[in-house]
Structure 1
Amino acid sequence: MPILPSLAESGNATAIQASTAIPGVNPVGSGSIADIVDKTSPAVVEIRTTTQSGSSRDPFASDPFFRQFFGNRIPFDSGPRTSVGMGSGFIISEDGYILTNDHVVEGATQIEVIMTGKDQPIPAKLVGSDAELDLAVLKISGQNDLPTLQLGDSNSVRVGEWAIAIGNPQGLDHTVTVGVISAKGRPITVENKQYKNLLQTDASINPGNSGGPLLNMSGQVIGINTAVNASAQGIGFAIPTSTVKPVLDTLINNGKISRPWLGVYIQSLNREIADYLKLDRTEGALVTSVVEGGPAAAAGIVEGDVITEIDHQSVATPGDLTGLVEKMKPDQKVVAVVYREGKKMLINLVIGEKGNIEQ
């Protein structure tokens, strides 16, 4: 079922399709940035959240990105109380679907959206979210003909191209900053959590910008603003639309992203380890630990096993095994070739779903 059938059936571009440049906007001519902002900013919203556990005196202290990067400059206390948070988002459908970051709405007991031209905050419902990708989709009811932004093609973005960030830093709504794409495919770690394949920009991104759009000079969204490194000026990050598009329908229709999971910790082999395990090869993935209750444990895989094949695909390195499992589906039945104490074994496995067991 396609996302947002009302839009798809109309024959117009849907929220997840790249569009042509905004009519009348000349990316090179003077005033083009102002024209883009005029046309796109009505679709950018402020998001306010209320959380009944955990607390802070500052609405941005509940944002894990900015707690790490801004540290003690954001007053924070851990006493139990109702806390509020602020962030940004943008409308992707005329009937009220909104994209933002998962960390903006994580744990919220109440979500409200502030829109241009609306006198009062509008209650929003969390439709779907994924903490690993830091994406969330909200829905506001009773709205039609809303201004929207369309997701462009982040893969075609080149380093050095202009980028426009719109959001609500420090609660200052519809603040616009401009910079360039500084790098692509950046990994970062925030509070021991890894994020991959991010766009890096020097467009200023501050607390409250999280969840807002990063635009190209055609007025298309190329990323969702996510984090800032306050220790170095001019370093901000955004989730590219190439990450968003493949999962957007799933988030809306299922509320979550199901990920395959084997339930093992693995490492590579060297000659010394291979000799100890009575193997004549160093190819494969050595199982160093098995998660209790996981699919590998249920199938009988144990610590010290070496996996050399799964689902009829060879495994030469731990990365091979990880990549193959990532392409599988939960509940998929596969056969693994395993070496244990030098002996070859065939083990039947049922791929699990990540998150079903404490990992």
Structure 2
Amino acid sequence: MSGSKTIKTVAVSFLAGSLLTGAFWLGVDNATYFNPAKESVSAKATTSQNTSIQQASLLEQKDTNVIAKMVDEAGPAVVKIETESVEKGTMSERDLFFRQFFGGDPFPQGQQKKQSLGSGFIISKDGYIVTNNHVIEAADTIKVNVTGTKEKYDAKVIGSDPELDLAVLKITAKEDLPTLKLGNSDLIRVGDWSVAIGNPYGLDHTVTVGVISAKERPLNIGEARFKNLLQTDASINPGNSGGPLLNLQGEVIGINTAINAEAQGIGFAIPINTVQEVLDDLIHKGKVSRPWLGVSLQDLTPELQKYFGIDMSEGAVIGYVANGSPAEKAGFQQGDIVVEIDKQKVKSADQLVEMVGKSKVGEKHQFLLYRNGKFETVTVIIGEKNYNSKE
């Protein structure tokens, strides 16, 4: 992501037998709030009446710790997700990246089973569950543990989106399941309380408390590029992935997804409003349809201006054109400079990415290119990104 420093992070996926050095500790004094005093008892009231009123007041004050009460109500809707998969042959770069942090033989011989652990939360009484994509990615079997039940439910992947690291699962239970209410992450302020519930290191329903440390944090995790993550100092560890980040009303404001492996008290969550924008597509279509141009880009730097021998200072330079992409079909070439889209100036690579991202699959756009000292207009039909493609 141009203009932002890539933070070395590790997606929070617990691997069986793994070990992460260091620990994250957070001491929090939970404020206890009491109800306003009742109306003064009349001077004519009897001693027994005074005693009754005092007892009633004590009952009203009982269990008024806001966080504890919220966790009691929200906790049952948080689930543990156990996955198992079979590793074959050499490992992918993504798996090697994880094993650098979580341990294990980076070059397994033959086949071996890999067990992983994560978290999730139920959003509907009939068993729809939201979690991270990396929690269930490539899993052969997925089991879900619901609080209060001995049975482990078989889960089916309904939809997934690698770009936002989201997935929706479905389990079938005989009775209605507890659910969590989705909040509004746009209303969050830096300094607001945040509560994370999950299964770090396999420790069921661990609760950690902190505040929102920052908003709109950019972060790169493998191939995923995030622009607006929530940062919290509520401790998040391997196994928390996919679990909810809650406000004091018990509403989900984010999905815990990553930590900074080199720091304490720095965790990241996907804002719930970002999730809600794609949730319907994940449930009903199984994926998020994303526009695709099929090029790599870089800004038109002074060095590139000198290289091309031009005096333009704005634009996006095409560094690579993917085979079979909309850009290739339209005639894009390496070294082309995108100057305009639909007569709107393109000032940088990031702006071009944003403009294409706002397009719809199948839309036509007019691109003004600068190539070999001449301007050329080409028509591009925006395609749909295929996450299974290597391009």
| TM-score category, normalised to shorter length | 0.7 to 0.9
Instruction: Give the share of equivalent positions with the same residue, in percent.
Output: 53
Q: Distance in 2 between matches of 1:171 and 1:250?
A: 31
1:293 is matched by which residue type in structure 2? G
Matched, 1:296 2:323: no
Match of 1:34 among 54, 57, 68: 68
Counterpart of 1:218, as a letter, is Q
Q: Distance in 1 between matches of 2:237 and 2:340?
A: 47
- Higher mean alpha-carbon deviation, 39-48 vs 331-340, is at 331-340
Match 2:379 to one of 332, 348, 356: 348
Distance in 2 separating the partners of 1:192 and 1:179 = 29
Unaligned runs of 5+ in 1: 1-25, 56-61
Structure 1 residues 170-319: aligned runs within 5 Å = 170-191=201-222, 193-270=224-301, 273-274=304-305, 277=308, 279=310, 281-319=312-350
- Bigger radius of gyration among the two: 2
Counterpart of 2:182 in 1: which secondary structure?
coil
RMSD of Structure 2 on Structure 1 (CA): 2.6
- CA, structure 1 residues 88+77, in 2 after alignment: closer, same or farther (shift >3 Å)? farther
Deviations 1:239-296 (A, max 9, x none): 1112101000011111111211112222233567447646553332222322222111
Moved over 4 A (4+): 26-30, 62-68, 74-77, 270-280
Note closer, same or farther for the CA distance 1:110–1:271 as it changes in structure 2 (3 Å cut): closer
Q: Does 1:47 align with 2:81?
A: yes
Q: 1:78 aligns with which of 99, 108, 112?
A: 108
Q: Which amino acid aligns with 2:287?
A: K
Of the three residues 100, 118, 137, the one matched with 1:106 is 137
1:154 and 2:185 matched: yes
Amino acid at match of 2:167: A
Equivalent residue, structure 1, for 2:390: 358
Q: Is contact 1:177-1:204 (8 Å) kept?
A: yes
Report what 2:155 is aligned to: 124
Residues 143, 197 of structure 1: CA spacing in aligned structure 2 closer, same or farther, 3 A cutoff? Answer: farther
1:57-76 aligned within 5 A: 67=99, 70-72=101-103
- For normalisation by structure 1, the TM-score amounts to 0.83
Q: 2: distance between equivalents of 1:231 and 1:246?
A: 32
Aligned pairs, number: 326
92-101 or 319-328: bigger deviation:
319-328
Structure 2: 5+ residue stretches without partners: 1-30, 35-63
Partners in 1 of 2:329 and 2:157 — Cα distance? 35
Residue 320 of structure 1: SS of its match in structure 2? helix
- 2:178 alignment partner, SS class: coil
Q: 1:91 aligns with which of 122, 144, 148?
A: 122
Cα separation, 1, equivalents of 2:95 and 2:81: 13
- Measured at CA, do residues 227 and 286 of structure 1 come closer, stay the same or move farther in structure 2, by a change above 3 Å? closer
Deviation at 1:354, TM superposition (A): 1.9
Take 2:105 and 2:344, find their aligned partners in 1: how far apart are those partners?
53
